[in-house]
Structure 1
Amino acid sequence: MSPNFHADTPLAQRMRPTSLDAIIGQAHLLAADAPLRRLVDQSHLPSIILHGEAGIGKTTIAMLLADAVGRPFHALSALNTGVKQLREVLDSNDGLSFESPVVFIDEIHRFNKAQQDALLGAVESGDITLIGATTENPSFSVNNALLSRCQVYRLEPLSTEQIAAVLKRALTQDTQLKQRPIELRAQDFISQLAHGDARKALNLLELAVQTADPTQPTIVIDDALVGRVAQTALVRYDKEGEQHYDMVSAMIKSVRGSDPDAALYWMARMLVGGEPADFIARRLVILASEDIGNANPNALLLADAALRSVQSIGMPEARIILGQVVVYLATSAKSNSTYKAINAAMALAEKDASPVPLHLRNGVTKLMRDQGYGANYVYPHDYPNHYYPQNYLPHNLAGTRFYEFADNQREQHSKQFMQWLQQQAASND
C-alpha cells in the first residue's frame, strides 16, 4: 500500500501506517503471538469489532488487516449509510470471488437494529467479513445476535511515550516536515492535550507548525504556541458514550468508598464535560438509598432536596449544591442492608405466589368476613408499645428473613429497639 497524497493532505493522513508492523501501540493485539497477529499469520480473518476511543487506529488496523490477508476492502460509515446502500455492498460480490470481502463499518454503534440485522445473514454465511469500529461499549451498542458472531477486541489509548514516538516519526519521516528546521519543546503538553489520540496529537503539531513565525530560522514548538493553537484543553468526555458510564461509575464508587476528594474530581470531570447536573443528582439520590440507607436516613432527604434544587437553579450554580451533597454522602456512614433486603425479597417474589393469609386480608363485606377475611388479626396499637408479635408472611414463608441490621450506630440502635419490643411482648404474655 503506497498512497499518493495531495499537498494539502492533513499530516495525520500522511502519517497513516502502511503496514501492521508500522503501527505504534496496540501491542497486546499486534505483537508476535498476540491475537490479531496470529490471525494474520494464519491468513485467517473472522468478523471482529474494534472497540476504543477516537484516533487510536481502528480504521487503520481494519485496512491493514484486510491487506495482510489479501481481501478486498469496502469502507462504510454508519453516519451516512442506510439499509439500501448496505445491501448494495453486501450483494456486490455475487459469488464472483472466492475471497469474501472485508466490509468495514465505522461507528457501527450508530446503526439501528434494522441496519445491524441486515448484516447478520452475510456474516453468518461468510459472504462478508465484518470489521466494526465503535467508541462505545459493544455490550450496550451492538445487537446481541451480531455481537455473538464477532470477536471483540479492545484498543487502548496511546501512552505518553507512544504519542512521543508518533510525533518523532512525523518530524523525521513526513515529506513536508522533515524539510523544515523544527524544534519540538511541547511534546509533553501535546501528549497531555491529545489524551492518547494520535490523530489529535498530529493535528496539534501540524497546526503549531503552520502558526509559527515563518521568519525565524528554526520553528520552535513550545507550550505557549501549542496552547494558543489549541485554545483550550477540551475535556475528553462523551456524554453519550462509554465514558459517560465510566465516569459516573467512578464517582459512585468513590462516594461508596468514602473518598470525598475522588468523588468531587469525577463529578467535576462530568460537569466540565457538559453532563447535565440533574443526571448526576438523580444518581446521587439512588446512591443515598442503596449505599447509605438507614445508616443515615438524612442522606436520602438531602440528595432528594439537591435534585429538586439543581432542577430549579441549573448550572453553573448547581455545582455548589452538588458539591455539598457529594461530600456529605461520601463522608456519611454506609450501609447496603436495605438494598440487599429488597433484592432478596424481589428474587423470592419472582418465584413464590403464596396467597395472602386470611387474617391479613381486609374483610370489607359481610361475605368476606364470613369467609374468614381479617379473622384473628391483632391490632398492634391496642397493646403496650404498639406492638404485638404475629405472622405477617404467607404461612409457608413464616420466619423468612430478608433484612439484616448492619453494623452501624443507627441500625444497631434500631436492632436494640426491636429486641426490646420483643422482650417486652414476651414478658407481658
Structure 2
Amino acid sequence: MANTELTGRIVTPDDPDYEQARINNNLSIPKFPSKIVFCQKTKDVLNALRWVRENNEPFRIRSGRHSYENFSLINDGLIIDVSEMNKIKIDQEAMTAKIAAGADLGKVYKKLWKYGLTIPAGTEGSVGIVGLTLGGGIGMLSRPFGLTCDNLIEIEMVRADGHKGAELIKANKNENSDLFWACRGGGGGNFGIVTFLTFKLHAISNVSLFSVSWKWEDLEVAFDAWQNWAPHTDEKLTSQIELKSKEAGEIISQGIFVGSTSKLRKLLKPITTAGSPTNVWVKEVPYIEAVRFFDVPSGNRPALRKRSGSFIEKPFPHKAINQMKHLLANAPNKNSSIWHQSLGGAVGKIDSYDTAYFYRNAIIAQEYLTTWENPEEEKQNIRWVEEIRNTLSPFTDGDYVNFPDLYIKNWPITYYGNNFRRLREVKTKYDAFNVFNFPQSIPPYKRWI
C-alpha cells in the first residue's frame, strides 16, 4: 500500500504559477504534467521517486529545462525538478567544488569566479550543470581543460531500489566505478536522479577574446580556413564559427584564449587573412566577462525551436561546404544557422572507451539551429534541419547526446558509438526495471514486467 508523501514545493495545474513551472526552453513540444515537484533537498528526491513507484505514476527528471526534445517533460505525469537544489560548496585547498544538481551555469560561473576558479562548461547561463555534464559538456574551455565530464570527480545519485524503493548512492573511480564511467557522457536521465556533483577546479584570471566576421560571400573560404586551423592551433585556444542564413548575411568566428592578446593575434593569422573580414577585434578581459559575452540571451529564452547536430572527424571537402551554403541560402528564416565548435586538445587526449563520451577523435562539434514565430512554420523548419543532417551525413559522424533529435533512427549508435553495449550493461545493473525511461533512453538488457 502506498505510504510515501511528496515533499518539496509542489505545483499542480490549479496553481497560478503552473504555466511558468511547466514550460521548457523548447516551446514547440508542449507537455502538461499533472504535478511538478520542486525538490529542495535529497530527501525530497527520494520521496518523489518512492511516490511515483508506489503509485505507478509516469515521471520525468528535470533540471535546467534545456532538453531539446523535451524529454524532461511528460503529459499527465509527475516532474521531479531539482532546479531549486543549487548550493555550491568550494574547497580551495583541494581545488574542488561540490555542486547541487539544480545549479545552472550562470550561478556556477559567478560563484567560482569569486575565488578565481572555474570548470570547463557550456555558454548558455540557464543550462543546468547536471544535464550538461552527464552528456559530456562542450564549451569555450574544452581544448585546454577537457569536457565538463572529464573534470567530474564524484556524483551522488538517487536510484531505483527493489520493486518500489529508492536509495542514495555515490559513484566515483573507486565506488560504483561502472556507473561513474556511464555518467561521463552517457546522457541525463538514464540511470537515476543525480543530486550532487563534485568537480576538480581550474585557476582562471584574465583571458583574451577574439571576434572575426565576414560577409556571406566569404562563407566557403572563411569556413575552410577555420576548420583547418581551429582544432589544431594552440590548445589554450577554443573557438566557434557560426554560418548564418543568407538573409542574416554574416559569418562569425569567436573564441577564448587562455593567454595574451599579442600571442592571440599571431595565432589568428590563418583566419584573419582568409577572405575579406569585415570586423576583427581582440581584447583581454576578466574571465567572467568572457562568460557574459558568450551567454547569448536568445539561447536562454523559451522559443519555438529545433536543433540537431553531428561530429566532424576530418575537414569538410569543398562539396560539403558548398552544400552548407546552399542550405543556408534556402533557410526557412533569418534565425537559422549552422554552428561549429573546435575540439581536439585535452578532449582528444582521453580514449574513446575511458568514458561514455565516445567521439574523442572528433575535431569539430556541429549544431543545426532554427527558431520560428508561428506554429504553422514548424514543419518547414524541422524539414530544413533534417535536410542538413541527411545532406551532410556522408561527411559527419554521430551526434552529441546533448543535441538529441527524435528523427534520428539509429540513435543508440549515433549518440554512443561502440560504447552503447557497455552502457546497456550499466543500465541493467543499476536500473533493471527500466524505471528511468523516455523516448531515447538507454534500455536494460532484460525486459522486466
Same fold (TM over 0.5): no
| Greater RCO structure (CA 8 Å; 6+ sep) | 2
Scaled by the length of structure 2, what TM-score is found? 0.22
Larger Rg: 1
Which structure shows the bigger proportion of residues in helix conformation?
A: 1
Which is richer in strand?
A: 2
